[in-house]
Structure 1
Amino acid sequence: MQWSQIKTLFILCFLVLDVYLAVQFFQKQEKNDLDIMEQQESTIEQQLKLEDITLPKMPDGELEESYISLKQKSFSESDLSGIASTDNQKITVVKDKLLVSKFDKPIPIKDSDEAKDVIKNNVFSPDSYVYWDWDKDLNVIIYFQKKDKLPVYYNDKGLLLVFLNDKNEIVCYTQTMLGKENKDFDNSKKPLIKPIRAIDTLYNHNELHTGEKITSAKVGYYTTQPIASDEQTFAPTWKITVNGKRNYFIHAIEGFAFPNDDDSTFLKDSITSIKSSLTAVKGDRDFKGIIKQLDQKLETNKRGEEE
């Protein structure tokens, strides 16, 4: 056998050996990384246990979600014809983006379940929204829109507000909606941090205290882009609920905490924006009445802040 052939054979053997060793190294490194993460998670759980902080049952396994990019939807006449029942309501669309409805006869309800039934029959695409809260001070029920079956938190471009009078009767509602996803946007799936690491972020920010109970950890979408942006990018987000009342939002890919929103401020800002848009509806007595009701809600909110 010629020396050049022997040399080539040795080189190929060494290349195969190098590839094998590299694969072994990376597999071992990956295992070490997983072991370290499991040790860290175990340490976090132990620390929370020492603080008597109760954890909920959390999702198992590896989770993946993508960023999404959305513009606000413009409502069309065909959208209005898709509403199941319009006999008892007068509907208008303001500046293409805001749908406003006033009921001729207010609809009495006792609880959020009855409100859901009203929504199902009287709102465009009711299954696109999920119940969030009933602000008893302002008597407004808040629904957030869903995208890819996940709620979009605190965004007034995907929001359904149901307004009630002092008799707990639904008198009107306003609706905005986020449109289809931007297909040119990179929406590849990315691994999410585990919820225990999101909880650890809260603990390190001194947002968790001895004896508290974390009641849920769920994934949704959140953005910090200005509401005025024409197109917004939404990040997968862990919503961590404490004691069934306080909600915190942690970026589910990068792990940092978003600034904390609260219902009162968000609702006040949303109502103010809706009122501003409704001024474009001129000469309509019904919608002037809605503006008056919005003024009353804002005045109630102002008094509550001053007290």
Structure 2
Amino acid sequence: MDWNKTKTIFIVVFSILNIFLYTLYFKQRSDAQNVALIGRTSIEEVLKQDNITYDIPQNVKTKSSYISAKIATFTKDELEGLKDQSIMLLENDTTIQAKLTADLAVKDANKKYQFEHFLANYVYAGNEYTLWEVNETEQKAVFFQVAGEEPIYFSPNAMLTVYWNDEGNITGYTQKMLKSFSNYNHKDLLTPVEAVGSLVTRGYVKPDSKVREVKLGYSTLVQLQETQVFAPTWNVHVELKDGEMEDHFINAIEGKVIEFHLDPSQETEDPEVEEE
């Protein structure tokens, strides 16, 4: 057996195989890039046709993970340091219902809401909540608990609602929160432009609108008795042609649109997801 000749044949065969595999890889990569380019171009064309403008920052997260958390229970001992308020614990100690016993203005001397002071000085772990909405008609403000830096959208178990009276003094609040957060299953996210394009093609964003902001948060994916699982979710904040504002939510991994239907007897309820 001529070993040198056999070795040469093997080298030639493996070289041809490597060239073939590299060519196949390069073609697949080029095809994927072309598909992505075509998809992005199509989205931008759709937005242009509907006269939908957007101003989305470039430095946004491209990856995130699902998170899980448990419903927190409170004890009177840990709430003892909260001043100028009487507190009741409800729903198996998972809900704080507080009534303020001192006058505390909801606005400062410049007629601006001063929630930061209230959260820092009167609410347990107040720095874990971010303002979502002020309803001046009903004289209340809704805050969402944050996980890291992202808000948890419309979870009744991660919410703070503050109330005030006609004199402009805060009368009390209700609070629920989550604890023991865990991250798992890191995933690529839809880009903000892809999220907007998906909403437009499904008719959620009307022509002649302007996308003011696309912000990442979380929404309920699975709810068990004590533990909840949340999925990364894009909140698309849109200004309509008439100046009205709308918020839309889309699962940032699966691309499913999420609609929150509110029960008038509660601040929020769990979301419903549009099936593909």
Q: Same fold (TM over 0.5)?
A: yes
After superposing on structure 2, the runs of 4+ consecutive aligned residues of structure 1 that deviate more than 6 Å are none
Q: Retained in 2: the 8 A contact 1:220–1:239? A: yes
Which residue is equivalent to 1:178? 178
Relative to structure 1, the CA distance from residue 240 to residue 99 in structure 2 (aligned partners, 3 Å threshold; closer, same or farther) is same
Q: Which runs of 5+ in 2 are unaligned?
A: 270-276
Relative to structure 1, the CA distance from residue 164 to residue 48 in structure 2 (aligned partners, 3 Å threshold; closer, same or farther) is same
Q: Give how far 1:87 is off.
A: 3.0
Which residue is equivalent to 2:73? 74
TM-score normalised to the size of structure 1? 0.76
| Superposition pairs of residues 267-278 of structure 1, within 5 angstroms | 268-270=265-267
Q: For residues 174-210 of structure 1, give each alpha carbon's deviation from its aligned partner in whole angstroms, at most 9, with x where no partner exists.
A: 111111124xx7x132110111111111111112222
- State the alpha-carbon separation in 1 of the partners of residues 57 and 29 from structure 2: 24
- State the alpha-carbon separation in 1 of the partners of residues 30 and 13 from structure 2: 26
Q: For residues 90-124 of structure 1, give each alpha carbon's deviation from its aligned partner in whole angstroms, at most 9, with x where no partner exists.
A: 22333221122211123222266412211111111
Kindly, what percent of the aligned residue pairs are identical? Answer: 23
Report SS of the residue matched to 1:238. Answer: strand
Q: Give how far 1:20 is off.
A: 4.8
- State the alpha-carbon separation in 2 of the partners of residues 32 and 61 from structure 1: 26
- State the alpha-carbon separation in 2 of the partners of residues 79 and 50 from structure 1: 57
Q: Give how far 1:75 is off.
A: 2.0
Which residue is equivalent to 1:50? 49
Q: Give how far 1:242 is off.
A: 0.8
- Counting matched residue pairs gives 261
Relative to structure 1, the CA distance from residue 229 to residue 245 in structure 2 (aligned partners, 3 Å threshold; closer, same or farther) is farther
| Superposition pairs of residues 148-167 of structure 1, within 5 angstroms | 148-167=148-167
Which residue is equivalent to 1:169? 169
Residue 237 of structure 2: which of 212, 235, 241 is its match?
A: 241
RMSD: 2.5
Residue 216 of structure 2: which of 194, 210, 219 is its match?
A: 219
Q: Which runs of 5+ in 1 are unaligned?
A: 273-307
User: Could you say which structure has the higher strand fraction?
Assistant: 2
Q: Give how far 1:30 is off.
A: 2.2
Is 2:253 the partner of 1:253?
yes
Is 2:187 the partner of 1:190?
yes
Relative to structure 1, the CA distance from residue 74 to residue 17 in structure 2 (aligned partners, 3 Å threshold; closer, same or farther) is farther
Is 2:90 the partner of 1:91?
no
Report SS of the residue matched to 2:156. Answer: coil
User: Could you say which structure has the higher helix fraction?
Assistant: 1
Matched residue type, 1:96: D
Matched residue type, 2:95: L
Which residue is equivalent to 2:105? 108
